[in-house]
Structure 1
């Protein structure tokens, strides 16, 4: 690769990752569509099975970028070139750095009235340039962590990853460990050196990187033991130490294949949870408990100051992969209800097998008024190709006596819009349920809901179930109350007015005490059960 191309791709990657961190109008897009031929032809030209899709529909544009590596830490890697599609004319063309930056700035300025709209004029001298953010990390000269001492810009993947691999492998050789155990021990010691609020002492050269610019080091030390901790201290630590320091390091280790990023993120959470509990440190408590925090935006360079609210990545430890990222297409739940002579099975949604079926379901008359997903096949396929690879929700099909009967989505409430309307916890999970049959002899609403609740509460990371069904659907609310949900009130969201309801294990078990053991004694799934026609 020529140097100019390498540097351009490096800057483009940094720009895309900056946008992903500050905005939410993007998602992963899985596979090649069946009902969108122009897009299918274009995606087939890339070697990637997954892309990032950016929704700029307000400007009649959508963007697809081939995804080479998805990073839990937010430092994704891409395979260029990318492309944009005009939604009205269906024209597809190569995406340039300047074009993406223009759309990103347009989105930012449209959302923030305080930013001068003249900055959109690319010929205007006031237009600030995007600069690759300085995300640095240091390798401390220490007998505990290795003898290498250096500072690198983590956006340069080749340099940064090589350095990290060298340090960890040297540490592994010195300690006589394999790479996996050495990575965990090296990173744990790195966190111990970093401490809770004293990043300066870890960095080799202070002039290159000065964190916590709005407060002094002594103020930060005092703040950790104060009775009340200003939010600015948490925001500063999360931005300067977590976002600009630890997460890039996590990403380099992940990209090198030394350890899964989510394992290292869990180690960060565990470390600061221990600091919070042992030292009663308020800053550490804020680090692990805050749902969101504010960071200084980077899209407009250093000349324009604005802030964005971003989710706490450390809460990834509460994300239940069994629910949100199933690893195989077979049944995840199976139960026989002897009294009713009914068997219920749940399996992940299969877009190749289930798309046309749920399209027919959603276009039935009883679905249109409540479910409101009576879309054309092309639009429905797009919905599932962006939902299924995501980390915050997943779709499932339920079968009763071997016949597909219901569809539901599981979602992580803290990353859903509903989490803005109550005191959401990172262990809150919700569902959206659609039962296809209208014949009362085939619906089995109680058994269906019991099965879903059984399965969800069998997962250790699920603490509370959340419901937010539309107020028009009283039948759905009554069904939930029947299995233990309790109404909390009515909330008004942008897209609907809803009944907010909760359910804890104890409330569910009060209704169905016989199901208390399900979380501990799961019934074996018969190997000869066929859940669908092959």
Structure 2
């Protein structure tokens, strides 16, 4: 799954920081996305044993189970925002492909998503999200009844992204693009990002953080996340880009 985004609104780039990586040793106070590791010293043969406890969601994925990893997103419903009534509607490829394909070929979008070109390229990407193991739900963002954006809500702790930052269980990630130029640069980006992050935290009580990793070159997108209550946590080197790790913490949601 590409970790990408498109222009939302103008703003300054974040200051550079050193990137951080996940740790899975017993001395790290932060939970590992792959479970808790403990060493037992009461082995009758005098040898230490490793008690590996993996999260149920990870075990379900390994077993091929079709668990609902995102809390029945289709039932989340609309929310009121400063820019109108907004709803995430799970994507239907047969109906929505022409619209998303057109958006992907907008130069402002293509520069960061890399899916411009024939319809088959966009279709392959969308079907991969829809028919995966449940870690990602692709959606249309519908504002006052009009589809105007594309979103991917995904389990960041079960995603390859977790290899590049100190992930915590149930971290939930966001990718997005605004399809029409008229919807960019008007404050809608930060308003809808805040609304979606709040929606995730409200509908997924086990999720303590919403994360995103916009391209560092995309300063308008980074600025929109900052305005939406996300904090800039680190710079991370991903396979296809250098990204700004943005985090919205549940415990800070009322003060940022």
Do both proteins adopt the same fold according to a TM-score greater than 0.5, normalized to the shorter chain? yes
Work out whether residues 429 and 465 of structure 1, in 8 Å CA contact, stay in contact via their aligned partners in 2.
yes
Task: Give the Cα separation in 2 of the matches to 1:361 and 1:443.
Answer: 20
SS, match of residue 434 in structure 1:
strand
The answer for the alignment partner of 1:437 in structure 2 is 180
Task: Give TM-score, length-normalised by structure 2.
Answer: 0.72
Higher strand share: 2
Structure with the higher fraction of residues in helix conformation: 1
Do the aligned partners of residues 492 and 480 (structure 1) sit closer, same or farther apart at CA in structure 2, a change above 3 Å counting? same
**Aligned equivalent of 1:500:** 245
- Counterpart check, 1:287 vs 2:29: no
1:464, distance to aligned residue in structure 2 (A): 1.0
CA contact (8 A) 2:69 2:135 kept: no
1:218 aligns with 2:47: no
Q: How does 1:430-509 map to 2 (within 5 A)?
A: 430-439=173-182, 440=184, 444-458=188-202, 459-509=204-254
1:323 maps to which residue? 70
Q: Say whether the 8 Å CA contact 1:363–1:373 is kept in structure 2.
A: yes
**8 Å CA contact retained: 2:142, 2:149:** yes
Query: What are the Cα deviations for residues 8-51 of structure 1, in whole angstroms up to 9, with x where unaligned?
Result: xxxxxxxxxxxxxxxxxxxxxxxxxxxxxxxxxxxxxxxxxxxx
Structure 1, unpaired ranges of 5+: 1-216, 224-228, 235-282, 292-310, 512-534
Q: State the distance in 2 between where 1:414 and 1:445 align.
A: 24
Q: What displacement does 1:400 show?
A: 1.1
RMSD: 2.9
What is the distance in 2 between the residues matched to 1:422 and 1:441?
29
1:17-32 → structure 2 map (5 Å cutoff): none
| 1:414 to partner: Cα distance | 2.1
Rg larger in structure: 1
Instruction: State yes or no: 1:313 paired with 2:55.
Output: no
Q: Report the Cα distance in structure 2 between the residues aligned to 1:312 and 1:364, rounded to whole angstroms.
A: 37
Name the TM-score, length of structure 1 as normaliser: 0.36
Cα distance change of structure 1 residues 359 and 442 upon mapping to structure 2, 3 Å threshold:
farther
Where 2:112 maps in the other structure, the secondary structure is coil
Query: Within 5 A, what are the aligned runs for 1:179-198?
Result: none
- The residue correspondences of 1:35-184 to structure 2 (distance < 5 A) are none
Q: Do the aligned partners of 1:488 and 1:501 also contact (CA within 8 Å) in 2?
A: yes
- Please say if 1:332 is aligned against 2:76: yes
Q: Which residue of 2 aligns with 1:49?
A: none
CA shift, 1:450, in A, is 1.9
Q: Please list the CA deviations of residues 399-427 of structure 1 after superposition, one character each: whole Å capped at 9, or x if unmatched.
A: 11111011110111122221111221122
Partner of 1:530: none
1:211-249 superposed Cα distances (whole Å, 9 cap, x missing partner): xxxxxx734xx66xxxxx6xxx43xxxxxxxxxxxxxxx
SS of residue paired to 1:346: strand
**What is the match of residue 412 of structure 1?**
155
Moved over 3 A (4+): 440-443
Distance 1:322 1:421, change over 3 A: closer
Q: Distance in 2 between matches of 1:320 and 1:460?
A: 17
Q: 2-side partners of 1:361 and 1:502: how far apart? A: 26
Contact 1:359/1:380 (<8 A) preserved:
yes
- Cα offset, 1:359, TM superposition: 0.2
Provide the rounded CA distance (Å) in 1 between the counterparts of 2:100 and 2:94: 11
Counterpart of 2:103?
361
The corresponding residue for 1:403 is 146
SS of the residue 1:218 aligns to = coil
Distance in 2, Cα, partners of 1:322 & 1:402: 27
Mapped partners of 1:474, 1:320: distance in 2: 36
Residue 332 and residue 352 in structure 1: after superposition, are their counterparts in 2 closer, same or farther (change >3 A)?
A: farther
Cα drift, residue 388 of structure 1: 0.6
Separation in structure 1 between the aligned mates of residue 102 and residue 186 of structure 2, nearest angstrom: 17
